Every structure is written in C-alpha cells, then in structure tokens.
Amino acid sequence: MSPRPIAGDRLRRILALLPWIADHPGVTVEELAARFGVSRRDLERDLEILPYCGLPPYSPDRLIDVDIDEDGGVRVRFAEYFARPLRPTPEEGFALLTAGRALLEVPGSDPEGALASALRKLEAALGPAGVTVEIDEPPQLDALRRAAAAHEQVEIDYLSYGRGERTRRNIDPYDVFHAFGRWYVEAYCHRATDERLFRVDRVQSVATTGERFEPPAAPGTREVVFHPAATDPRVTLWLASDAAWVAETYPTEHVEADDGGTRVVLAVTERAWLERLLLRLGPAARVLDPPELRDVGVDAAKRLLAKYS
C-alpha cells in the first residue's frame, strides 16, 4: 500500500516547467520531455492543464496562455496580473522561498534560471535566515537512474515490506522519480511479468545484466503510486475519530460517516500490511468486512505477545 495518486508530484513538475519555458521560448515538446524525464504524452497533458491555471474570476486576463506551433515549439504568455509586484509578509515570504527551493529540486529545473534568480532576491530581502531544501538520496538511486537513462535491464535485490521477504528479480527501469518524500522506480518486473513500482530505499543492490529494453511510449504505473488489481481483496474498516487520518493517507474506494466514526473501503494487497495498520490503530479501528478478516488484528497481536512471552 502506498500514497494516493501523485498529483503533488505532477503539480511540482508543472510549476517547474513554467519558468523553464518562459526562459526558453520556442523550446520543443520533445526537448521539454527529455529535460524533465517524462514521456511526450505526459508532457502534453501537463501543458493542456496550464491554460486552466490562474486567478479568480478566471477571465482571460487572469489565465496563462500556452501556444504550441506547427514545429512543436512551446511558448507561454502570463496574464498581466502576474507582472504586478508581490508584497508578501515575512511568513508568506518564507513559505514561498521553501516552496521555490523544493521546485528547484525537481529533475529538469534550471538552478541558474529565472526561478533561482527570483529566490535569491527573495532570500536576500528576508534576511540572513536562509532556507535549504534537501531530498535524501538512497544508495542505489544513481545506479537505477543510469539504468533508466540507458534503457538497461538490471537485477535488483529487493526487500518487500508487505511480505517481509527479500527477492531477486530482473527489471526494466522506465523511470525514477520522487513523490511524497520517497524515491520510486517504475519498471517492468520479469518476475511478476507486469509493470511494478519499487521503493528505491528498499533496493538492496543493483547489478547490470547486459540486456537492453525498449521503454513503452506511456508506462502504465506513472500516474499513480498505488493502483490495486481488481482481484485484490477489499476491506471495510470502521475508524474512530482519532484514526480518521487513515482515509486521508491511503487510497480509499469509499468513505462515509458511520456511528460517530468513519467507514472506509480500501484495497489490501498484503495481509501483513493490514496487520501492521491494525496493530498501530489498536481499538480505534475494526474490520467490518470481509468476515474472514475480522480477527486479523487480534490474531496479529496474539502472535506478537507470544514472541515476547
């Protein structure tokens, strides 16, 4: 089980795209896709969103205009409103600086472009208390990045948190990206004979195989970090008010208020994941359906107590 659809990751990329296009008018769709490490299809979908971005009342003078010429060159025109100088409070300034620094960490952003220049001016105006944004990089990140860039199949030693086991598997890494504080590698897994998403910090080792692969035009797992299969069990949980965060943290298929709490339906790919969640929640959660899983939390607690006794 992993985070919700990575809208935040896509939004950061779109926000990083804007200053790059503004600094390089006429840059082609292909060049943008290569720089930001996405497929042309994903890049075009990002550009389709931009004309809907702006400020209330969302009239033409408050929106962003995107033009793609017949040669694939891209240009943006900002509404006149965006040329007005900002007058943020110190708190708003530090929030803006932090968000801007995070955007510069998006692969493809220009560390010396207009955004970086504006952030340096903002930092100078705010005074000596600067802001630094760092994203931890797991040990195998560079090796997986190189393999994805070279379209090279690799063998990985992977720790599956859901099953609590290590497996060796050959994968074709399509893409490596950051979302919700974690690095992920999107790949075709030859062991599962399907596309999979792997947490990079759980990859114990990476070895080259000498085999190469042709990446798909539009990988299937990139838009969501977790997408359950139709055959995965669906579990209905009742959550007390202090456990309502579960509905905001994990992908749910149904949420409704119920008897002073919240009833949620979610897909569970691994029983072990459900056991850990129920152990963490304790009496603040109980399984309503399916019947065969109603005691899964109690059984896990008994096994855990038996180990200590």
* pLDDT, tens digit (0-9, with 9 covering 90-100), for 134-151: 556 788 999 999 999 899
Other Cβ atoms closer than 10 A to 92: 11
* pLDDT, tens digit (0-9, with 9 covering 90-100), for 234-261: 999 999 888 887 876 677 788 888 778 8
pLDDT band for 186, please (50, 70, 90 cuts): confident
pTM, whole model, 2 decimals? 0.42
Same domain, 145 and 238: no
CA 256 to chain centroid, in Å, comes to 26
Eight-state DSSP code of residue 154: E
Same domain, 183 and 120: no
Judge whether 300 lies within some domain: yes
Supply the CATH number for residue 148's domain: 2.30.30.100
Among 91, 126, 161, the domain boundary falls at 126
State how many domains the chain has.
3
Among 165, 180, 212, the domain boundary falls at 212
Judge whether 219 lies within some domain: no
Helix (H) or strand (E) holding 98, with range, is: helix 90-104
Q: Bigger pLDDT: 308 or 235? A: 235
Instruction: Please give the radius of gyration of the chain, using alpha carbons only, rounded to the nearest integer.
Output: 23
- Give the torsion through C-alpha atoms of 222, 223, 227, 229, to 10 deg: -80
Judge whether 223 lies within some domain: no
Supply the CATH number for residue 118's domain: 1.10.10
Domain that residue 174 falls in: 141-212
Judge whether 218 lies within some domain: no
Same domain, 202 and 239: no
* pLDDT, tens digit (0-9, with 9 covering 90-100), for 176-185: 877 656 788 8
Judge whether 87 lies within some domain: yes
Among 212, 242, 271, the domain boundary falls at 212
